[in-house]
Amino acid sequence: MAMTLDDDQWIHEFFMGGNQSSGPFNSDKSDENKEPLDIESMSQNVEKEEETLVNKKQCEGGVTSESGNLNVKNDKGKDINCRISSHEKHARAERERRKKMRSMLDSLQDLIPHLAYKVDSVTIVEETVKHIEYLKQTLEKLKLQKKEKLKSFSEAFTSDQRPFSLNSQMVTSNALAFQQMWFSQNVTFNICGDEAQFCIYTTKKPSLLTTIFYVMEKHKIDVIHANILCNNNAKSCMIQAHVSFKFNSHFIVHFVFLYYTSTCGVI
Amino acid sequence: MAMTLDDDQWIHEFFMGGNQSSGPFNSDKSDENKEPLDIESMSQNVEKEEETLVNKKQCEGGVTSESGNLNVKNDKGKDINCRISSHEKHARAERERRKKMRSMLDSLQDLIPHLAYKVDSVTIVEETVKHIEYLKQTLEKLKLQKKEKLKSFSEAFTSDQRPFSLNSQMVTSNALAFQQMWFSQNVTFNICGDEAQFCIYTTKKPSLLTTIFYVMEKHKIDVIHANILCNNNAKSCMIQAHVSFKFNSHFIVHFVFLYYTSTCGVI
DNA sequence: TGACCCACGTGGAGGA
DNA sequence: TCCTCCACGTGGGTCA
């Protein structure tokens, strides 16, 4: 199974048609692979070139294979064997693999900002690592901001030093024309038809009023009349309101439930 | 420049020490490269093994190089040339390059969630592309949400179909003990000491009340008394308020200026 | 056993 | 000139 280097050289030139480096394999990346469509057409072109190469090989011969062994005859042009050798299949599969990798790397390159036009693959991966870490950090920061904002709303209630009494209860009373009524030490809440009245007496907390009106406006609850009274040093606050809601009472129920749960942890 | 395949085989085994496949080059990725520290130690080990290989080569000889040409003597063990051939340097550089690429790909793999433990490099890059697109979309969505929220606050004023009159003016009147006073067709605003009263008559807009209380609470303006009256179909709204501010009147001024500018585009 | 993946060494192109 | 990068074909390990 001896084989000369000259033969090896010849095989190489024969397989590659002498244009291995100046051919599409080397030049496609830097020029055409920027556009996905071009990638497609290019790979088809490459495929065609490959086919012609194979055909040329098949016609001119010179390479035969016996159970995976490369067997080269020195007398070129004879001993034509049209079976694609396993070596050739192997080489072709590897070419495909590399092409795919190249294509994915190019896609990656397009996704990374501030990357030079011509950049080697290691740098692409390197910058990708950095960029993903940056994106993750930014995302975490934004999510944290969002969470903090929600938390500050929540804390507006939970920081109350005088929490509402736990023994709040729901009363259904038709006698007073109130369909539903909740009350506790600090809150009364009545629903009548598509309107409701509530009165909250509470210590002053940051964002208290903003939160109350935010929840109501978010749930399309219209204020008909509201009266807000705070004592002079702004330690305590009373909110009376008469509201209407066009959709259904669940919004109001949700509102008051939110208030209760964020205050006492019970419904 | 002829060379037999047997020689080539011999050189290969000689260079790789016969353990190319069972050695660290093939086994390190699947087992140890998960930990960055292990990567470091492993690569150092590999480096050491390389060095010993080189030393062995240098001592036992068999490979010489002349200006980049691979020159193999058949009589092994003789003609010892300790110079590292350019081919060898080339191979070593490529090894380093591949090692770096492998290392970066492993780092990348660690950053991509829901990726199998054993996964080929093409898939790593492929999933990275998907993941970056996902991250970018999520980021855009969050940023958009943030922007929309700010915009909805702003629109609460600018969507007014009945803008305030442009001829609002500032009046300084000590006679009435009001230090500063603005008024327009729809707004009156008075400052007296560290307190102020204002009255706004406006059409109902989304987030109107939330915005007003948000701006006040943001600027540490305490509500002493507020009265909100809306007509039944909630088309118009009157807000009366008596507020106090501990710091300085610029906050109130800013508040009312914000109201004017976002409504009429003038101060 | 064939498909797949990886690491290897090598030739060539391009830039410093 | 040397160095870096890429694509190549190949040997070998792994898994269904």
Instruction: Please tell me the predicted confidence (pLDDT) of residue A40.
Output: 37
Q: Is residue B201 part of a domain?
A: yes
CA distance A196 to A249: 9
Q: Is residue B191 part of a domain?
A: yes
Q: Is A28 exposed, middle or buried (0-12, 13-18, 19+ CB in 10 A)?
A: buried
| pLDDT, averaged in runs of 10, over chain B (267 residues) | 37 37 36 36 40 36 34 39 69 91 92 87 93 93 77 47 37 49 69 80 77 78 90 78 72 56 36
Count of domains observed in chain A: 2
Distance B63 CA to D11 C1' (A): 21
Q: Is residue B193 part of a domain?
A: yes
CB-based contact (8 Å) between A240 and chain B?
A: no
CB contact under 8 A, B104 and A97: no
CA distance A67 to A82: 14
Nucleotides of D under 7 A from a protein CB: 1-13
Instruction: Please tell me the predicted confidence (pLDDT) of residue A252.
Output: 58
Please name every residue paired with B140 in a beta bridge, in sequence order, or none if there are none: none
Q: Which of A167, A153, A263 is nearest to A212 (CA)?
A: A153
CA distance A158 to A266: 12
Q: Which of A223, A156, A257, A76 is nearest to B228 (CA)?
A: A223
Instruction: Please tell me the predicted confidence (pLDDT) of residue A182.
Output: 63
List the single residue in A112, A122, A217 with the smallest CB-CB distance to B97. Answer: A122
* CA distance to partner chain A, nearest, from residue B8 (Å): 9
Chain B partners within 8 Å of A104 (Cβ):
122, 125-126, 129
Q: Is residue A74 part of a domain?
A: yes
Mean pLDDT, chain A, rounded, equals 62
Q: Is residue B131 part of a domain?
A: no
Nucleotides of C under 7 A from a protein CB: 2-13
Phi, psi (deg, nearest 5) at residue B192: -140, 105
Instruction: Please tell me the predicted confidence (pLDDT) of residue A151.
Output: 61
Answer yes or no: do A27 and A103 share one domain: yes
Residue of A nearest to B100 (CA): A122
The ipTM assigned to this model is 0.53
Q: Which two tokens stand for residue A162?
A: 């005088």
Q: Is residue B203 part of a domain?
A: yes
CATH number of the domain at B233, please.
Answer: 3.30.70.260
Chain B partners within 8 Å of A105 (Cβ):
125
CA distance B126 to A71: 38
Q: Is residue B95 part of a domain?
A: yes
Question: Is residue A198 classed as helix, strand or coil in its secondary structure?
Answer: strand
Instruction: Please tell me the predicted confidence (pLDDT) of residue A198.
Output: 82
pLDDT in tens, chain A (267 residues): 333 333 333 333 333 333 333 333 333 333 333 333 333 333 344 344 444 333 333 333 333 333 333 343 444 443 445 445 788 888 888 999 999 999 999 999 999 988 888 889 999 999 999 999 999 999 998 888 777 766 654 554 444 333 333 333 444 444 445 556 666 666 777 777 778 888 887 777 777 788 788 778 777 788 899 999 988 665 788 889 888 876 655 555 556 555 544 443 322
CA distance A19 to A16: 6
Instruction: Please tell me the predicted confidence (pLDDT) of residue A130.
Output: 93
Phi, psi (deg, nearest 5) at residue A40: -60, -55
* CA distance to partner chain A, nearest, from residue B264 (Å): 24
Distance of CA B156 to the CA centre of its chain: 31
Q: Domain range spanning residue B221?
A: 169-264
pLDDT, tens digit, 9 for 90 and up, residues A197-255:
888 877 777 777 887 887 787 777 888 999 999 886 657 888 898 888 766 555 555 56
Instruction: Indicate the residue among A111, A136, A152 that finishes a domain.
Output: A111
Q: Is residue A228 part of a domain?
A: yes
Q: Which residues of the protein are close to the nucleic strand D, CB under 7 angstroms?
A: A 11-12, 15-16, 20, 25-26, 29, 70, 87-88, 90-92, 94-95, 98-99, 102, 120-123; B 20-22, 26, 67-68, 86, 89-90, 93-94, 97
Answer yes or no: do B96 and B179 share one domain: no
Instruction: Please tell me the predicted confidence (pLDDT) of residue A72.
Output: 38
Residue of B nearest to A226 (CA): B228
Instruction: Indicate the residue among A62, A85, A111 that finishes a domain.
Output: A111
Distance B21 CA to D8 C1' (A): 20
Answer yes or no: do A19 and A99 share one domain: yes
Distance A94 CA to C7 C1' (A): 13
Contacts 24+ apart (CB under 8 A), B45-48: B46/B99
Instruction: Please tell me the predicted confidence (pLDDT) of residue A115.
Output: 85
Buried b (16+ CB within 10 A) or exposed e, B76-112: eeeeeeeeebebbeeeeeeeeeebebbbbbbbbbebb
Instruction: Indicate the residue among B61, B79, B111 that finishes a domain.
Output: B111
